[in-house]
Amino acid sequence: MEHVWFCCTLLVVLVSGQISDLRYTETSNDNLSEAIQFLREYDREAAEMCNRVANAEWRFSTNATEYNKRRMREQQNLASKLECISWRRAVSFDSSRIIDTSIRRQLGRIVQQGRCGLGDTKYAELQHVLMLLKDNYNGAKVCPFRRGGSEATDLGTFSSAGGGVGYPSSNYVSAYTGYCDLKINSDLTRIMETSRSEPELRYYWVAWREKTGPPVRNTFMRYLNLANQAAEQHGFHDAGEQMRSVYEDGDFFFTVNDLWGQLQPLYKQLFTFVRKGLIRQYGEHVIRRDGPLPAHLLGNMWGQNWRHIMDIIKPGPPETPDVSGEMVRQGYTPMKIFQTAEEFFTSIGLSPMAPEFWRNSVLQKPNDGSGQCSASAWDFCNKVDFRIKQCTQVSLDDFIGAHHEMTHIQYYMQYAGQPYLYREGPNPAFHEALANAITLSVGGPAHLQKIGLLNSPVTVANGNSMVNIEYLLNLALDKLPFMAFSLALEKWRWYVFEKGPVGMNARWWELRLRYQGVIPPTGRGFEHFDAGAKYHVISDQDYIKYFVATVLQFQIYSELCQAAQHFGPLHTCDIYRSREAGRILSDVMQQGASLSSAQLIKLLTRGKSSRLSVDPLLEFFRPLEAWLEAQNRDEQIIGWSSTMEDVALFQPLLGRNGQSVNASSFTLMLLLGLITRGLVLHISNIT
């Protein structure tokens, strides 16, 4: 029987590690029984392989030795071989002639995604290219900032091409050889969040991009080429179209545009308020009153999350009491934080954590300091073993984070009974959306007051109190710039997949300016590759999921609040102890990927809609928007206006000798030319 041959061949292949001799012929097979048998075998083999990979990745994540790294990559390579064997078998079926919709959907999930259409040699090359890109990023280290006799010494020279546009010259790097051990996780992230020294922030912003971008620029171009070749083999025009296909929306490109268009007025109000605070801190010689924001001053290496500059943009002491301090006073521990999260879910009728969860999870940093500390939820693909790894501190952030990660675990548990191909969300955004919908409930003043962590008098019904405004402002700083950043990033990636890498760095900053109102703090030339400073770009990971997840989380939250019969401003809702909200949440989670995202939204909204909508997000932030409008009433412009000097930072012209002209020289040349013609130039509101 065919399924026996497939299973036995798979075992031989995985043992031998060879797949180059396997050939499948397109047979236009529409035999339903064969397809069912193939999927049954795939379900078992893929789940077993997933378990092996998860165990290997867990061991490396909790004990990052070279041996564990090697074992992890061995298992990942075997998983890739299984993926390609399964793809070749799946494409032999003519799914369009198979009537059973579930069988057709499962085959489609194998066939459409992945890169196995490249063939063995190029597939192996693509995996190698991605490994090189990730290894460079993970190994990147920069020297510490040391204030010298001049700002030029602070900034240093970092251009791998022998000096970049707008860079002062210095022997900074050689002067501090031996101390260059600062990495992005913890070191640089913490500095960008806490430093208020403009030269220091500028230095680290430039240094990180020089270490991560130019060294892999050519390697990334090869990745683009291979990814596009694979997409064509899978029936797509380019890799961008293939990445968008998982959202099952033929108009997805325009859908995200329309959603952002509705959010722009709120974003521009927030942007204007942030700019006013940054000008107070750094002065008008750094930021124009009507201009875009320099990317290094936003409290984050990529300018994607602005909540760490809350102290700058909102002067005066915070109105919100210290919840983290209250947690310490009440004797919270990492274990108590997760027990509290579990009690939240059981209060709405969901299952408690299994004994395996408490036995196997790592909920605080090991005493020996080993392992990686990024919070994550793990599904070991055997329907019983689910874990969280989080180096938990007793703080409000980690309290909310614990609920976020446990939502992922609940999702794993709820859809565990589905076939393996359905044990995930219908698109990459659903997991994050559900997890963040829960954090909207547990992180708000209403819930914190209900569980005794916010003891000062807060009138929950009064959504316009300063405690509520600060809560909304903090959330807006977290979510709205992130949406603009994710849209700019993905629009850039779709562009380079379709049009190619020529001028890709200028295109990166053009989109950052258009959607986020952000410019680089110094000139960027053709030799730079600033998108490569973001891990998701060089590691081939979808990023528009964060944009979609942000829209979707407010839709989910709004529906759960209606089920909980909440009255009052949306942001004061708490679904704690609502069994009806829990029932709807469980109904959605149990489907996994067996339904499309449109079908799942229809289930969530009880038939009212099947499309993404920003209306709940706008309703949530309506009190903040009114407050921001009052704060910005004296501002000359809401949003930003861009001059040619801004654009020249990343769109340098070539001089007569073929060399790039820096921003200031370009602007001077441009203005001189315009003056001779009696012209005045000003570009407004690039949107």
Say how many residues make up the chain: 687
* Separation of alpha carbons 535 and 541, rounded Å: 8
C-beta separation of 477 from 307 below 8 A: yes
- Give the tokens for residue 555: 């839709």
Q: Which of 560, 544, 547, 518 is nearest to 649 (CA)?
A: 518
Q: What residues have CB less than 8 Å from 325, skipping those under 6 apart?
A: none
Catalytic residue selected from 83, 342, 405, 490: 405
Residue 198 in marked binding region = no
- CA torsion 410→414→419→425, rounded to 10°? -60
Show contacts of 153-158: CB within 8 Å, 24+ apart. Answer: 154/199, 154/200, 154/203, 155/199, 155/202, 155/203, 155/206, 155/522, 156/203, 156/206, 156/207, 158/206, 158/207, 158/209, 158/210, 158/211
Nearest to 583 by CA among 414, 450, 339, 425: 414
What are the residues facing 379 on neighbouring strands? 386
Alpha-helical (H) ranges within 615-662 are 615-620, 622-631, 644-648
Is 24 annotated to bind ligand? Answer: no
Judge contact between 87 and 114, C-beta under 8 A.
yes
Beta-strand ranges (E) seen in 570-647 are none
- Residue 454 tokens, joined: 């916010």
405 as an active site residue: the answer is yes
For Cα atoms 481, 243, 230, give the angle at the middle one, nearest 5 degrees.
140
Rounded Cα distance, 510 and 500, in Å: 16
Considering the candidates 536, 619, 625, 629, report the single residue annotated as catalytic: 536
432 is in an annotated binding site: yes
Residues 6 or more apart whose CB falls under 8 angstroms from that of 296 comprise: 192, 198, 201, 202, 204, 205, 303, 521
DSSP 451-485: TTS--S---TT-TTSHHHHHHHHHHHHHHHHHHHH
Residue 27: count of CB within 10 angstroms of its CB: 12
- CA dist 577 and 344 (Å) reads 7
- Name the maximum alpha-carbon separation found in the chain: 83
3-class state of residue 194 by DSSP: helix
Q: Is 431 annotated as a binding residue?
A: no
**Rg (Cα) of the chain, in Å, rounded?**
26
Q: What is the DSSP letter of 381?
A: S
Please, what is the end-to-end C-alpha distance for the chain in angstroms? 60
HSE-up (13 A, CA, CB side) for residue 291: 21
Phi–psi pair at 518, nearest 5 degrees:
-120, 140
Question: Which residues are annotated as part of the binding site for chloride?
Answer: 247
Question: Which residues are annotated as part of the binding site for Zn(2+)?
Answer: 404, 408, 432
Query: Which residues are known catalytic residues?
Result: 405, 536
Question: Which residues are annotated as part of the binding site?
Answer: 247, 404, 408, 432
